[in-house]
Amino acid sequence: MNLLKISTAALAASLITAACGGATPTPVTIVQTSIVKETQVVKQTQVVQQTVQVQVQVTPTPAQGTQVLRWALEGINEPSTLDPAKVGDSQIVFAAGLIFRGLVQLDAQLRIKPDGAESWTVSDDTKTYTFKLRKDLKFSDGTAVTADDVVFAITRSLDPKVGGGNGAYYLSNIKGAADFTAGKSDKLPGVSALDPQTVQITLEQPSAYFLYQLNFITGYILSKKNVTDGGDKWYEKPVGTGPFILKEWQHNQKLVLTPNPYYWAGAPNQMKEVDLVFYGGDQGSVTAYNDYQTGAVDVIGAFGQTPIPSQFLPQVKDLPDFKSAPQFFVRYIGFNNKSKPFDDVKVRQAFARGIDKTKLVKLLGDGAARSQDRILPGGIPGSELKVDGLAFDVDAARKLLAEAKFDVTQKLVLSYGTEGDNAKVVEFIVQEWKTNLGLNVTAEPLELQTFSQKLTDTYNDPTKGLQMYYSVWGADYPDAQNWLSQQLRTDVGNNNGHYSNADFDKLVDKADVEVKDVTARLKAYNQAEQIGVTEAGWLPLFSPNSNAMVKTYVTGLVFTGQGIIIPDWSAVRAQ
């Protein structure tokens, strides 16, 4: 929407590097020295890494070049904000991540590496993290970054008056965060500046995924002066520690970014600018595809929920500029568990068994997606452990409806946001339920921002919310906690459908604090996932591939299940 000196990292399910071409890369020398201890477990799916010290030296970059990278943001008509505390859509999370950065970041193998922090240590009880900022770390206006700016930014992400809510999802384990976000305290004791270069963060309980959460957008560093002096729309003239500066916001058209001359890893001065072009609405992906064919944009389909439209796949899948990787995204149907008829588990199970997902995936086209009977997508640690799904079975579905004394003539509504292939998928599902079970379901298309607001409304007041909805979840970080604890635990902020099971809660609570025994941790998540699938807390449908097109002259992009990672902007080339 997007949390030791120890960190837990998932290895990428599949890495596909964009084709190389264009000019010879401008050399930027990065020398990294570290003392690393690694323990690899669970069939190569997870790494516990202990980093003692990291130092980086960067050579100066040359004068600004003339290259322009034009990147399509499908599914977005206009961002409501670029404020990291409030951004929810993955397309704008990507955009904001070019302007702002945090203490840590992901590398191309989805492991945590230093960003604004040059090093960190962790206490013996694994609850206190002490970060040292990079020497001479600066914002894009040339002012020095201090520990006070980091404390300000994290505190602001958790501040209920800011109104974003994302911080409460991803930073809630920080000491005192619960009382602070609930308005019971006006201080956040878990984050402090020990000196201008040192930030200390203390957690309520051990966490194997904290650095992943800190890498999410709510952990980005903000300039206190920029935010406090910039007014309500300070984010229209933001300063950050990322590789780019927001030069221009052409509303309802695009964001224009230019290199940040103070970026700690060296300004990507081979670029003149990066244009992030909006393609909203139900036909946004089609329009972006047509513009790609004419050369108006260089990258399309880069986000899992808005891949290349399936009707175009047969003609592009063998081209050199076509890129594909399994994606940490799952398309699913959510039910309002606090509203009839979906407060009855048998009704939810019947609806799940009434859809032929094999036929659905064929409808989407060869290479577009993989059918999904579970919550975790392939490649997330724990997905290698077996889960029994609710298989397509019309007779079993009808029996469940009969046992629930369900009136098949009652009118129901399946709501969805208008983007990509959503209308095609929802129409198929509605027809499946009608043909197989005699159900009377109507599809309700909603503009994407309206749909997102309706999901929030359903969480806030389920009696007035959606009955059921076709939605998507993409990993904010590659860990099972982001899929289970963050989605289906009782009353957690992303649990819009209000699924609740006490045994599920106990299992994820146990897994969330396990930092030493990875096998035990993943087993607990697996048991919880089985409960959530059996009770149709979600109705998983399919996991889309990240099917993108990237002009052959564009280099430096790495495709992973988490999305496109750009490890080194100095290696990126455009036209």
Provide CB contacts within 8 A for 290, sequence distance 6+.
none
Contact at 8 Å (CB) between 443 and 470? no
Residue range 549-558: mean pLDDT, rounded:
95
Q: Could you read off the pLDDT of 208-259 as tens digits, one per residue? A: 999 999 999 999 999 999 999 999 999 999 999 999 999 999 999 999 999 9
The Cα–Cα gap between 499 and 528 comes to: 13
- Find how far residue 308's CA is from the centre of its chain: 19
> Which pLDDT band holds residue 305 (cuts at 50, 70, 90)?
low
Selecting from 3.10.105.10, 3.40.190.10, 3.40.50.2300, 3.30.420.10, what CATH number does the domain 329-545 have?
A: 3.10.105.10
Whether the pLDDT of residue 40 is over 70: the answer is no
Tens digit of each residue's pLDDT (9 = 90 or more) over 174-190: 999 999 999 999 999 99
Residue 64 confidence (pLDDT): 57
**Diameter over CA atoms, the chain:** 73
Which residues, including other chains, have CB under 8 Å from residue 64's CB and lie 6 or more apart? 258, 259, 269, 271, 272
* Secondary structure (3-state) at 268: coil
The answer to whether residues 543 and 375 touch, using CB atoms and an 8 Å cutoff, is no
433 contacts 355 by C-beta, under 8 angstroms:
yes
pLDDT of residue 493: 86
Lowest mean pLDDT among 83-92, 196-205, 262-271: 83-92
């629930």: which residue's tokens? 404
Nearby residues of 511 by Cβ (< 8 Å), 6 or more positions away: 480, 481, 484, 485, 521, 522, 524, 525, 528
Q: Can you tell me the distance from the alpha carbon of 89 to that of 217, in angstroms, rounded to the nearest whole number?
A: 11
Contact 332, 473 (CB under 8 A): yes
Q: pTM of the prediction?
A: 0.80
Q: CA 268, CA 569: separation in Å to the nearest integer?
A: 6
What pLDDT score does 304 carry? 64
pLDDT at 545 over 70: yes
The confidence score (pLDDT) of residue 58 equals 39
pLDDT at res. 411? 97
Average pLDDT of the chain to the nearest whole number:
88
**How far apart are the C-alpha atoms of 143 and 463, rounded to whole Å?**
50
Candidates 129, 128, 188, 192; CA nearest to 159 is: 188
Read off the pLDDT band of 65 (50, 70, 90). confident
Give residue 19's pLDDT.
32
Question: Please, are residues 198 and 133 in contact by the beta-carbon 8 Å criterion?
Answer: yes
Share of the chain above pLDDT 70, in %: 88
Please tell me the distance from the alpha carbon of residue 11 to that of residue 3, in angstroms, as a whole number.
17
Q: Is the pLDDT of residue 433 over 70?
A: yes
Q: How far apart are CA 10 and CA 45, in angstroms?
A: 6
Tell me the C-alpha distance between 358 and 372, whole Å.
9
Task: Taking residues 449-465, report their average pLDDT.
Answer: 93
Q: Can you tell me the mean pLDDT for 514-541?
A: 97
| pLDDT tens sequence across 349-400 | 999 999 999 999 999 888 788 999 999 999 999 999 999 999 999 999 999 9
Say if strands 67-74 and 271-279 run parallel, antiparallel, or are unpaired: parallel
As a whole number of angstroms, the distance between CA 473 and CA 328 comes to 8
Q: What is the pLDDT of residue 303?
A: 78
CATH architecture classification, 6-266+551-571: 3-Layer(aba) Sandwich (3.40)
**Is the pLDDT confidence value at 550 over 70?**
yes
The model's pLDDT over 484-512, given as tens digits with 9 standing for 90+, comes to: 999 999 999 899 999 999 999 999 999 99
Q: Write the Ramachandran bin of 183: left for phi over 0, alpha for psi from -120 to 50, otherwise beta.
A: left
Could you tell me the two tokens for 411?
Answer: 């009118």
Domain residue spans of the chain: 6-266+551-571, 329-545
